[in-house]
Structure 1
Amino acid sequence: MEECTLLFDVWLVTHLTSRLLDDHLRPLGLTGDEFGLYSLVHTFEPIAPGRISRLTGMAPTTVSGMIRRLTARGHLVQVPNPEDARSRLLRLSDDGRRVTAKAAGILVTILPRLYGALAAGPDAVRAALADLDNALRGMTDVAPRPYATPPARPRDDEPPSITYGGPRLTEAQEAEVRMFIDWLRTRDRGGPART
């Protein structure tokens, strides 16, 4: 077999990620792509459809189709744009917030298993993905990444920001603790953690 390229690697990972998310979110009637959009709207609401397209790189027609589908479910509502009377902004409805929180709860249960299975650890993988994301955004004229990748966890010789007196946690356990902390932070803002 010919040697595959980085782009082929990314294509495979994209589809494997979609399958993992779709399989776990199916009981809620969501796909991984839909949950990603719910999370984006939750984080930046109210948000214009054009901004969604610029942040994600999705075609405007793809964004419009997803918005129609999620609005028909009653999970998205459109509100007037105070800066442009001709356009609308998107927010999650109360039902949209509930389903987003349920989906985030499901994903919280699978992330520690994924993190534990990564040979390089989640911080190293996320740093590499951020590098790839930055390169792809530069080549496709897409808006900068809408969030920063969390810094790598402290080395063993650096003091932790939270003290814990028990035995050393595994990487998967540390990932679960970080996700719980993220959940606590987003709970105070009234919503789920992003994927």
Structure 2
Amino acid sequence: MARAKKLPKSLPFETTLMVRDCCLCLHMQRAARNLARIFDEALRPFDLTNGQFSLLMSLNRPQPAAMKDVASLLAMDRTTLTAALKPLERRELVVIEQDPNDGRSRRLRLTPAGEQLLARAFPVWQQTHTEIERPFAQGEVDRLRRHLRSLS
């Protein structure tokens, strides 16, 4: 039987610095939190968070969306999606309906109030996005999007 490799009792501080500088997950989380704060602030006049805006936008489609499809698009489990839908449903921005073809499934759709709120919030989202992209050289943001999609 092979001997187990002896683990160090602690890591040197240089390792911490290396992880701080190299960890993709850390840098993605920091960037995501910062972007979330920026969009949360921009969408505050509409009483929306960036997550709620994304959820409403994911429902802006010709036919009601299957809950599983929205969960997949937003990279959420169904329990998290259900919790995220509750305040939007209370505000009568979203309706959750039984799927007519499958009684176990749910369909999600925007209400007219949800459509109107999304239409009013979109120009603010668009302007905020433009401001965020401004410092980047031409093509860099599209390249970043491609890389992010490959990781998701």
Q: Is this a same-fold pair by TM over 0.5?
A: yes
- Supply the AA of the counterpart residue of 2:149: D
Displacement over 4 Å in runs of 4+: none
Following the alignment from structure 2 to structure 1, what is the Cα–Cα distance between the partners of residues 80 and 132? Answer: 29
Q: Once the two structures are superposed, what CA deviation does each residue of 1:63-111 show, in whole Å capped at 9, x if it has no partner?
A: 0101112111100012342321332211100110111111102122223
Residue aligning to 1:140: none
CA distance in 2, matches of 1:67, 1:92: 11
TM-superposed CA distance for 1:129, in Å, is 2.4
Q: TM-score normalized by structure 1?
A: 0.63
Distance (Å, rounded) in 2 between the aligned partners of 1:23 and 1:131: 26
Partners of 2:145 and 2:128 lie apart in 1 by: 19
Q: In structure 2, how many angstroms separate the alpha carbons of the residues matched to 1:49 and 1:78?
A: 9
Match of 1:68 in 2: 86
- The 1:13/1:43 distance shift into structure 2, 3 A limit, reads farther
Structure 1 residues 184-195: aligned runs within 5 Å: none
| Structure 2 length-normalised TM | 0.78
Q: Give the equivalent residue in structure 1 for 2:150.
A: 134
| Partner residue in 1 for 2:129 | 111
Alignment of 1:162-181 (within 5 A): none
1:30 equivalent in structure 2: 48
CA RMSD of aligned residues (A): 1.8
Task: Give a deviation string over 1:90-140, Cα, whole Å, max 9, x none.
Answer: 11001101111111021222233222221x33x33223322332233xxxx
Task: Work out the CA distance in 2 between the residues paired with 1:112 and 1:87.
Answer: 38
CA distances 1:30-57 after superposition (whole Å, capped 9, x unpaired): 0000000000111474112211112221
Distance 1:55 1:110, change over 3 A: closer
Identity %: 25
Unpaired segments of 5 or more residues in structure 1? Answer: 137-195
Whole-Å Cα distance in 2 between the matches of residues 102 and 81 of structure 1?
29
- Larger gyration radius, structure 1 or structure 2: 2
Alignment of 1:34-113 (within 5 A): 34-43=52-61, 45-113=63-131
Structure 2 unaligned blocks of 5 or more: 1-16
